[in-house]
Amino acid sequence: MTDNTPTVSGSEASEAPRSAMARFLDSDLLHSFLSSKVTVLAAFTTVVLMLAALFAPLVAPFNPFDLAQISIMDARIPPIGMEWSDPRYLLGTDDQGRDLLSGILYGMRISLAVGFLSVAFAAVLGISLGLISGYVGGRTDAIIMRIAEVQLTFPAILLALLIDGIANGIFGNIDRETWAIWILTFSIGLSFWVQYARTVRGSTLVEKNKEYVQAARVIGIPAWIIMIRHVLPNVLGPVLVIATINLALAIITEATLSFLGVGVPSTQPSLGTLIRIGNDFLFSGEWWIAIFPGLALAILVLAVNLLGDWLRDALNPKLR
Amino acid sequence: MSILDIRGLTVEFPSRKDVFTASRNVNLSVDAGKILGVVGESGAGKSTVGNAVIGLLENPGRIAEGEIHLDGKRIDNLAAESMRKLRGKRIGMIFQDPLTSLDPLQTIEFQLVETIRLHLPLSKTEARAHAVDLLDQVGIPNPEERIAQYPHQFSGGMRQRVVIALALCADPEVVIADEPTTALDVSIQAQILKLMKRLCEEKNVAMVVITHDMGVIADLTDHVAVMYRGDLVEYGESKQVLGAPKHPYTQSLIAAVPRPDVKVHRFPQVDYIEGSAKPFKQIDIGTHWLGKARDYKSVDGPLLDVKDITMKFLTKDAWISKNRQYFTALDKVSFDIHAGETFGLVGESGSGKSTMARVITGLYHPAGGTAHFAGQELTSLKDKKQVLAMRRQMQMIFQDPFSSLNSRMRVRDIVAEPIKFHKLASTNSEVNQIVDDLLEHVGLGIAAAAKFPHEFSGGQRQRISIARALATRPRFLVCDEPTSALDVSIQAQILNLLKDLQDELGLTMLFISHDLAVIRQMCNRTGVMRHGQLLEVADTEDLFDKPQHAYTRELLSLMPSMDGLSRQNLEEELA
């Protein structure tokens, strides 16, 4: 073994390790991303919409929450290009005279916040329970999975309505602005955790029989460290895909709940709230109040979904 | 004239960054009734040649240069549709894994009749009769009854016979067999090889056998082509090539094959092969951290004493305990291992040898029996401190180097984990120093520490695995088929490394393998297992010279003989 002649592949071992950035720039993931025009467009749209929402106070021409800026006299002004339009209001105004473009930007903020928070909540809950369920197995697994199955018999929206209703019953209508978003996040998150738990459990069942987990057990490492340090990083791939697709779903669910009037109050309009307000005027000719927020919602959800689809294909070795 | 003629075949796989040439200017030909072996290690391009012949190159592979002629007609430029008609009819194919190459949802009859009628103008009843006849020819008993069964009702060997029948069903002129016996146990391998040889002669078929196994080449083939990284390095009559190899690669490949008939101290120097093994950095074991593995207090009697270990797996659960069904994986197995020796366990798949390893290392809890390690009872250990102390002394090297390392961790973290967990070093810089030394010592070099496992080859990964196992300073090492996933030249390197480490650190080893030739090279004493029972334990040399149990004799008689293989480079290492 002492005087082995190094050949072609031997030189690879002595190569200096590349930096994380260099590895990323050279990765197949980036390449697959750049070679799909639809995905690049979707990513661009998502980023633009998110930035616009994040910096809404800077970008938006008006602040729809500032009562001093709105006047009922400006109500229901049509968008630019139509008769009676006003150059100040690009997309027109709603029934209370609020600028629709500003409303959409601020509304998207709330929609995205609820989306991200509820996905994070669902992911943390689902991943933890799935990991425990898959790794520990036996009775623990049976109990967690039965709960998950029972939950799956309720449609997510019904569950969210239920939780929202209960919360309303407990808190009443006092101070609704502050806690409405949190209740919404909690109820949407709680209705989505099952998917994460099932996926993570499935991957965990596969991973825990791999030899690297057994090697860790032979070293004597306790189960909870093995779960977090060894199994968790190896089951996160599919979770990322679900999280992206769920983000779109959560935004829609939030919009649906707000549309039904159990989401955020109309003083803090989200996209769903705006659509609900517009719905009342849809047939009296003021179509823009519902259509523009609806369009914004559709574009946002479509872009995020396309990203999720690409991610699923890129991370799935079977489809390559 | 030869039936199949491959001239100057170059196959390329263009990728995003460059073009990978899988085979370069390969010239081969096979005559009717003859068997050509294509041998090489993984990545040599041998399967690519086979796939090019049947026109099933994986995307984005393409034939860049060269021609393939079947019975005088060029076939490499045929359109996809005419190539499809050729496949199965004139060129048959036998795949590696009989478990996946048959459709599990269809009966054998359906699959055979479908293929036969696709290629031959026969009625359903005629096709069925032909199918039964074929099954009879490939040695399936009661073909009339068994033809109506599903693949899962056949054993692995029987299924491979069915696959062979499928390949032969349209009387092809050429049959290509890609690793036809790799997934099979040694006893079944011998039968399948015999069958292939007989059919090849009877039916006057030209056969191309692609394999990594020198034993298969020696037993089966008339001619052999040796491939190395896409190049055909040696080609000629099998006797000639194996007995007196000319090319240095062939020489080192043959020297690296473990022989069942002789024991060598070390495998001869394997040059010309993946040069991953950097020179050992010389460390003074006496004073080094690693050398403290020798400081465990010595034990009177055996280091490991296993008595009547029984292990059962639940196969059918039930509420009432007496209705539960179990599979007995270990049936009252008893043996002992003395300090400093290597004890071998050999057996076919399902014999319980890996289960034994997992019981000893505490991954499974046995249903009965005791195991004493250094005088301490293992199976009843409750105290956490004692369990950890025990775990430290006993480490395991696994079979599959691709799943035994966490792909999300850097090599440094993988090797450092046991040191940190058992608090075997006080500072971080000390830990890093030990990791560097370990990696150097197993022949990898310090640069390896910052990389991820996927940047290494199988052999290098197995070295990382060994470094991790050494990181707790164990005195007992369980090696569960440590080389069966590796190429033969890499296997030789890893086995040499294990031998060196054992000499140096005074390790005791339990060495598990299905390969009797490897067992002979590695083990002082050996136990033979079958169906969860330990049939015979003897000194390894005695076991090979005068086996006591009938099953041991059978196993020994089924080993590929390797008689024809050159003994060049081997003489000075003979024991």
DSSP of B513-568: ES-HHHHHHH-SEEEEEETTEEEEEEEHHHHHHS--SHHHHHHHHHS---TTS--T
Cα distance between the two ends of chain B? 47
Closest CB to A218 among B269, B270, B395: B395
In tens, the pLDDT along B523-561 reads 999 999 999 999 999 999 999 999 999 999 998 888 877
pLDDT, one tens digit for every residue, chain A (320 residues):
333 333 333 334 444 556 677 777 777 778 888 888 899 999 999 999 999 888 888 887 878 777 777 777 777 777 777 777 777 777 777 777 788 888 888 889 888 999 999 999 999 999 999 999 999 988 999 999 999 999 888 887 788 788 878 877 887 766 667 777 888 888 888 888 999 999 999 999 999 989 999 999 999 899 999 999 999 999 988 898 889 889 988 988 888 888 887 777 767 778 888 888 888 887 887 788 888 888 999 999 999 999 888 888 887 654 44
Closest CB to B404 among A4, A8, A211: A211
Asked if the Cβ–Cβ distance from A16 to B280 is below 8 Å, we say: no
pLDDT the model gives residue B479: 94
Asked if the Cβ–Cβ distance from A218 to B362 is below 8 Å, we say: yes
Best of A219, A221, A224 to mutate (most B CBs within 10 Å, chain B)? A219
Asked if the Cβ–Cβ distance from A13 to B417 is below 8 Å, we say: no
Asked if the Cβ–Cβ distance from A216 to B497 is below 8 Å, we say: no
Place of tokens 């829609």: A252
Q: Is pLDDT above 90 for B191?
A: no
Averaged over B10-16, what is the pLDDT?
88
* Closest approach of A264 to chain B, Cα-based (Å): 41
Asked if the Cβ–Cβ distance from A2 to B279 is below 8 Å, we say: yes
Averaged over B281-301, what is the pLDDT?
68
Q: Is pLDDT above 90 for B350?
A: no
Q: Is pLDDT above 80 for B295?
A: no
pLDDT the model gives residue B345: 94
CA gap B575, B476 in Å, rounded:
25
Residue B315 burial (CB < 10 Å; 0-12/13-18/19+)? Answer: exposed
- From residue B199, alpha-carbon distances to A74, A241, B521 in Å are 93, 52, 35
* Closest approach of A300 to chain B, Cα-based (Å): 32
- A-facing residues of B in 480-539 (CB < 8 A) are 493, 496-497, 500
Contacts of B472 in chain A (CB under 8 A): 219
pLDDT the model gives residue A32: 81
- HEC readout, B419-438: HHHCCCCCCHHHHHHHHHHH
Task: State whether residue B242 is helix, strand or coil.
Answer: helix
Has domain B301-534 been given CATH number 3.40.50.720?
Answer: no
Q: ipTM more than 0.90?
A: no
Q: Are B183 and B99 in contact (CB under 8 A)?
A: yes
CA gap B338, B341 in Å, rounded:
6
- State the count of interchain CB pairs (< 8 A) between A and B: 110
CA gap B291, B475 in Å, rounded:
11
Asked if the Cβ–Cβ distance from A13 to B405 is below 8 Å, we say: no
- A-facing residues of B in 355-374 (CB < 8 A) are 358, 361-363
Closest CB to A17 among B392, B399, B450: B450
Nearby residues of B424 by Cβ (< 8 Å), 6 or more positions away: B289, B418, B434, B471, B472, B473
In tens, the pLDDT along B489-508 reads 888 888 988 998 888 888 89
On whether any CB of chain A is under 8 Å from the CB of B269, the answer is yes
Domains of chain B by residue range: 101-169, 301-534
Q: Least CA distance to A209: which residue of chain B?
A: B403
* Closest approach of A223 to chain B, Cα-based (Å): 12
Averaged over B454-470, what is the pLDDT?
89
pLDDT the model gives residue A89: 73
Best of A32, A212, A225, A229 to mutate (most B CBs within 10 Å, chain B)? A212
